[in-house]
Each structure stands twice: as structure tokens, then as C-alpha cells.
A and B are shown apart, each in its own frame.
Chain A
Amino acid sequence: MYRYDEFDATFVSERVDQFRDQVARRVKGDLTEEQFRPLRLMNGLYLQLHAYMLRVAVPYGTLNSKQMHKLAYIADKFDRGYGHFTTRQNIQYNWPKLPDVPDILEHLAEVEMHAIQTSGNCIRNVTADQWSGVAADEVEDPRPYAELMRQWSSLHPEFSFLPRKFKIAVTGDKADRAAIAYHDIGLRLKKNAAGEVGFEIFVGGGMGRTPMIAARVRDWLPKSELLGYLEAVMRVYNLNGRRDNKYKARIKILVHELGAEEFTRQVEEEYARLDAPQGLPSDQELERIAAYFAPPAYEDLAENDAVHTQHLVDNKDFAEWVERNVAPHKITGYAIVNISLKPVGGVPGDATSGQMHAIADMAEKMSLDEIRVTHEQNLVLPNVRKHDLFAVWQELKEHKLADANLGLATDIISCPGLDYCGLATARSIPISQDISIRLGDIKRQRDIGDLKIKISGCINACGHHHAGHIGILGLEKRGVEYYQITLGGSGDETASIGQIIGPGFSSETVTDAVETIVDTYMDLRKSGETFLEAYRRVGAEPFKEAVYATH
């Protein structure tokens, strides 16, 4: 894992001091709220419905146990004992007080964390595949490059006042667990014909009111040139992105209006012109960063562990949890444990300080001190010996973290919605809870199989509803909430945008509609066919018929 050196430490602590000064000037009245707003946003501080909300970056989703303990401590000391893990691999605190925020940032700096650029019209926290470095079939660990981008994008002198926010995601695997197609820039490590690893580059994806799948602008770029190419993309966007209308300001609109071909031409022209080496890190610097991501001290283990195999036989609940929540690891004898933050009827992505401490302890003892945050609002212990799986499971159970529902109907992504968010048009958490309870029976969930339900409380689509197999969008008409349903969205390597099936549903009937859709799938699926596959085969019609016939 990356460790700050003196340089990084200086950067973050000076940044805290700078923000402390800005807060003081705001409190004194030297800065108006209008002047303060972009400054606080660049430090992850939002003003919400009821209070300030602080969004802390978990760069590319990687944490160690000390950091997780600190997040728990902050939840207890400055908030109400819990935090909310988001689809951008960040954690949000919903109740901090403005004068406390510099202190919180100082606590974070102690464990090499910050909230820099988790909001505002700048380059946001770079997200990555949560299984980076451990996934069995990965081309290469993308995190050294994610870290390079974290550094490069931090207080960038040229690209800190962009037309709109800017999100970059990276994966090192063919299977896309980072939803790169839905990002402003999506990066995928792949090999060229000569077997060298480089980046495939996609630009212009996004959610919001105009969902778009990113266009490929480069089939392959040498890894070492990444920052130069990004500079070219950012400059074309900074100069030409629309600033007259905030709904048209994202890079996806520029790519769309110019056409992918013309946009690519402009980027390539700018790139060809750049004095590239000047802006690129030296080889030593790349090696310095990469060294931090060298594999941890794995033991030499056998493929199978007798104790583990015996537990699988003896304990059906454990076996079911392993089947759903545990994934194959690069290293023989190890496994990836996915911790669901989606208890049936719970708030997706919330974790209490007690749970955070427990996970930190487990990571220290049984996951080589590593934890990951996923864009589906779950957590991961990436380095667990198969031998320890049973102990981890028991420990998780004790802290109500052992739901065996990863990727199933109740593993719902939901944005905060009207319960917290100032922009919301409808509640989203209560709807996700309702659906979760309705479909909660684990036998039924397992029978339904892979299903991604995603809910947003307004058109901004923070809950990724466009990428949901079943997407739900909360809207409002004359003071009454209603919910639009989309089907067939996907955020993986076969990315697609969900299509609206028809008129919306009330908060009382939307769960029925979802259940009808699920039941319809169960009736029409072929053997072994997932919901998404079935939908892609039959289209929306059968679902529409079922839903609108009964409502």
C-alpha cells in the first residue's frame, strides 16, 4: 500500500492549515458563503439538508487497519457513530460541525488521508477495481497509476476550475468492476500485440440526466505516457467544455456534441504537440510508487485447506456465504472476502464505528492489513488465507456483517436521497429498505441469482440507477414522490443504459412493481440465464405487460 513520504505529508498538512485559515475567514465573515463554497467543496465539505456533510477520499478504495480505526474514531467523536460508504469509494459523514472540520482533516492527515477534491468542479478521487492486485485474472495492478493520478490531480494548477466535476476510474482486468464506461475517463490496462502493458482509454461516460457510455479514444497508450495524455484530454475539455449550462457541462456533452472522432482528433493533436517528457514522472518515480504496491508477504500455501473444506461440509450457512461473498485470489491458498454492507432492511453502505473497528481488527489479523471499499458500497478483505475464512465469517456474523447476499437482489446501491440530500426529489433509502425486506428471504434471493438493483433520489443518478439491471429513479410531481423504473442497465464490461419501461409508481406500489418484474423473470428465464441475460434476450415487453397489467 502507498505510504506518504515527507513530500506527501507536507502537502496534506499544509492543505489542512490552508483550509483551517479559510474556515476561520468564513466564520469571521471575511469570506462570503459564495466565495467559501468552491473552497469548501474542494475539501469535500457540502452543505446539506440538515447539516454539513464531509466526504473523505479513500483513494482507489484502499485502506489499512489504522485508517479504518481512524474513520471509526471520527464517526464517534465528530459524528453520530456511523459513516456512509459511497459508490465513489469514499466515506461520508453526515453531521460534522464546520469549526470541527479542520480538526477532522488533521486527524485524517495523521493516517495519511484527506478530503481533497472529493467534490467541486475538479478531478475527483480516482476510483479503481476493488480487487486490484488480488483478482485472479488481472492483467496488472492498476493502483500505482491510480496513485500517480491522485498526486497529479491534487491541486492541479490548470485543471482545478473545470466546467464540471471530473471522475476517473481505472481497472487492470478485462472484467470491469469499476464501471469505467460510466466515467469521464475510464482506463483499462491491457496488453498490445507485442505483449506490452498499456492503457486503453475511454472518455465521456457518465450518469446524471444524460447517461452516456464512454467512447474509446485510444486503443493503447504506453503506461509511462499516461499523465501526458490525460493533460491533453483535460486541456481540450477545460477550454471547450460548456460553461453556459451546468447540465451540459460534463465532458460527455462535449464528446457528444463534437462527435467522438472529432474529439479524439483534438486530443491527439494536443497530445502530439505537448512537450511530453516535461510533464511525465521519471522512471525512478514510477518505480518508487510501484514498490509500495508490491505484493505483501504471502505465505506459501496449498490450494486447499483441510480445515476450511471441513467447515464447508459441516456448515451450510458458511458454505453459502463462501459461495456468494468469497472470490478467487491470485495467490494460491488465499481468498478475497467481500463484506456486504447491505443487511436486509438496512441502509446500504452504512457502517457503525463498532463495525469499522471490528473490520480493521480483522484486516490486521487476517488480511495482511488491507481493506478495500467497493463502488457497490461494500467492503473487502482482500488477503484472507482460506484457512482463516471460517474465523473471519464468525467474526463478521458477530458484527452483523455476514450477509451472504453479494450481487443478489438485496445488494442494492442507493444514494442518500431525501433523508439527507439537498437536491433530492424523493426518498431512496426507505425504498431500498422496502425492496430489501420484500425480496429478503435468502433462499429466494439465491434462486433469483445475480441481480443489481440501483436507486437514486433524483435525476443526478448518484445511485447509478442507469446502470442497474433494475434501476429506480425517485421523482416528484406536485409534492408527491413517484418512481420511474428502468431495465437492462449494466455497469460492467458489457455496459448499457437502462431503458424506462413506462409511467412511474408511487412509493407504495414501486416495491410491488419490482417484485412483479422479478417474478416475470423467474417465469421466463431459461436454465442458467441471469436477469440481465434474460432481459437482453426478450426485451422489455414481457416485463411491461406484467407490471402494467397488475397495476
Chain B
Amino acid sequence: MPLIRDGKIVEDIWVSLDDEAELPEQGDVILSLDRLKKEANAIQTRSGRTGVVLENDVDEEDVETYLPHIELIALTFPAFTDGRAYSQARQLRTKLGFEGELRATGNVLADQATFLCRVGFDSFEVDNDQSIDVWNKALRSMSVAYQRGYDGEQATRESGPLSQDKAHTSLA
């Protein structure tokens, strides 16, 4: 699965750690929520960064206490029509103030790109057969958006005069 960040395919330096595997002292690892809870102390002292996968049926408040020690949260789309992770992302960013990397995983398609960015995702494990060009084109397809208070490059009514190129330049 190619990983997209900032409009480019990038190498994934994070390793998903199996629940049985030993927690390494170094390197960036992504844990399950259960494992994270068990390693609550260990993650505070290791030198590598720690991330967690949240399934889309858990309450995002479950990770609240660990947030100071977490630098990546991966949210899952079991099917791209299952939109719970949009609200989870929104809650993590606004209610819980999470500022680390929010990664979209699972069935992630280019056609979701603008939605994902606007609720606060910033990295994307996309389906293999979707090229970076398709992704970037999709991301640029809408230059305006109606909803206030969400992120993204799109102009909203309150953000002043229309700037058609806003989305384009920032991705160039």
C-alpha cells in the first residue's frame, strides 16, 4: 500500500507491531489499542515514536490519557462507505486537540481525498491501483466548500473572496 503525504508518495517509516512481538526500544511503531494500554509506561521512556490504530467502533476518548505520548493515530476504513472514522478524526482534532499524524488506512480511495483532508487526516494508505496523479487530481477537484470550521484548502464563504488557485498552488 503506497503511503501518501503532502501530495507525494513517501516511504513509510512506521512499523505496525504485532501484539505478540516485543516492543523495541528504538524505531517508530504502531500498536493496537490493547497493546498500547499494556505498554502505557514503556512508551513513555522509549526513544522511538509510538502510534496506535483505533478501530472505528471504539470511542476516541479511550486514547485520551495516552495522547501526550502518541505521535500517530491510524483510523480505519473497513469499507470506504463506512464513514465512522471521519467523525473520529474530527473528534480527535477538535475535542481532544490531537496534533500528531492522523493516518487513513483500509479501503481508502482518491475520491475521498477532500473529505479526509477536511476532517483532519494528513496521511493516507491508499489502494494500490490508485496512482498519485489520480489522488492529487481528486484533491484539487473542488476549490470551494460550504461547511465552516473544517480544515482543508477549499475556500469557504467566510474565508473571503474566491481564490480558484488556492488548492492548486499549495499542492504544486
Contacts and interface: CB of A to CB of B under 8 A. Distances in A.
Contacts, number: 99
A278 B159 CA distance: 12
Interface string A213-252: 0000000000000000000000100110001000000000
Given A18-B141, A158-B119, A238 B86 contact: yes
A14 B118 CA distance: 17
Interface string A479-522: 00000000000000000000000000000000000000000000
B87 interface: yes
Contacts of A154: 146
A327 interface: no
B157 A285 contact: yes
B84 A279 contact: no
Interface in A1-37: 6-7, 10-11, 14-15, 17-18, 21-22, 35
Interface in B121-167: 137-138, 141-150, 152, 155, 157-158, 162, 164
B14 interface: no
Nearest to B151: A157
Interface residues of A, number: 37
A316 interface: no
A273 interface: yes
Interface stretch (A79-87, A159-167, A190-198): A159-167
A311 to B, nearest CB: 47
A37 to B, nearest CB: 9
A155 interface: yes
B123 to A, nearest CB: 17
Given A18-B142, A235-B87, A158 B150 contact: yes
**Interface footprint category on B:** 35 or more
A147 to B, nearest CB: 11
A238 B90 CA distance: 12
B148 A11 contact: no
Given A10-B144, A10-B164, A121 B150 contact: no
Interface stretch (B3-11, B18-26, B41-49, B75-83): B75-83
- Of B81, B88, B158, the most chain A CB neighbours within 10 A belong to B81
Contacts of B91: 235
B90 A279 contact: no
A39 B113 CA distance: 13
Given A7-B162, A273-B95, A285-B157, A243 B82 contact: yes
Given A10-B144, A14-B143, A158-B90, 9 more contacts: A14-B141, A18-B138, A157-B116, A157-B118, A157-B150, A162-B83, A235-B91, A243-B82, A279-B149
